[in-house]
Amino acid sequence: MGNRRAVLTAAVLTALVTTGGCGTSAEPRTTKVSVPRAGGETSHTTTAGDRAPGEQRDVLPGLGSRTRAEVPDDTRQALVVTGSGRNSSTSKAVLYERTATGWQAKASWPARNALRGWTAGHRAGDLRSPIGVFTLSDAGGRLADPGSALPYSQSPNFRIGGTGFAGEPLVGSFDYVIAIDYNRERGTSPLDATKPLGAAKGGGIWIHVDHGGPTHGCIGLARPHVERLLRVLDPARHPVVVMGDAASLAT
């Protein structure tokens, strides 16, 4: 965000579980981030939206000047989640690290987002993921800490059952989660239910284990990839997630 900081105005989703995550009743709350705008790990072909792991450049690929300006100056790790389309629930996540010679892609993974795609004006229950640049400060899950550098809260309250939009079982989705700092208090468990911007703007937006279908607003990654993120995201490197459909991120 450099010199441009603002609190995102948006929201997240309907209740999914008894304790939090993906727009539930016991979700996190807010932090300052950016102004919103209108399967297995693989190497991949260079496109306008990303670069293959190992390639470098001085700016994050696929981001327009407005989006790049919202990435904090001290950020050295960025997960860029690029949606296939404004109304699509499929996306691609690329993990970048900033080195002395520029941003280097470390991994590329398939990802899922909300059922109805993306929005720059998120409201609770709209089944869209918020567009923006968000810090990543806290993690947790039902399972024991796999070696997270972020503060990690283990709790049996990271529970979920039932089925998703594709009829897939949801159990295990919250075994590992990384809280996206949207409408939540940084420095608390992802289960913290306080929402400084109010319940109407949603909350509980997490990176969690992919359950095989669209989310209510979270980002879903395969279990090994969430575990890898937990191990490599370093608070000292001020990690962020940059998320949205390709056209919005290119502005």
Q: Are 124 and 241 in contact (CB under 8 A)?
A: no
User: Is 238 labeled as catalytic in the residue annotation?
Assistant: no
Reported as a single tens digit per residue, the pLDDT across 94-142 is 999 999 999 999 999 999 999 999 999 989 999 999 999 999 999 999 9
Supply the DSSP symbol for 237: G
Reported as a single tens digit per residue, the pLDDT across 222-246 is 999 999 999 999 999 999 999 999 9
**Token pair for 212:** 């095989």
> Phi-psi category of 25—alpha, beta or left, where left has phi over 0 and alpha has psi -120 to 50?
alpha
Burial readout 179-217 (b: 16 or more C-beta within 10 A, e: otherwise): bbbbbbbbebbbbbbebebeeebbbbbbbbbbbbbbbbb
Q: What is the mean pLDDT of residues 199-225?
A: 97
Domain residue limits, the chain: 56-249
User: Is 208 labeled as catalytic in the residue annotation?
Assistant: yes
Residue 9: pLDDT above 70? no
First to last CA, the chain: 15
Q: Of the residues 22, 122, 208, 211, which is catalytic?
A: 208
Which pLDDT value is given to residue 120?
93
Q: Of the residues 211, 218, 225, 238, which is catalytic?
A: 218
CATH architecture of 56-249: Beta Barrel (2.40)
Which pLDDT value is given to residue 227?
98
Rounded Cα distance between 13 and 16, Å, is: 8
Residue 170: pLDDT above 90? yes
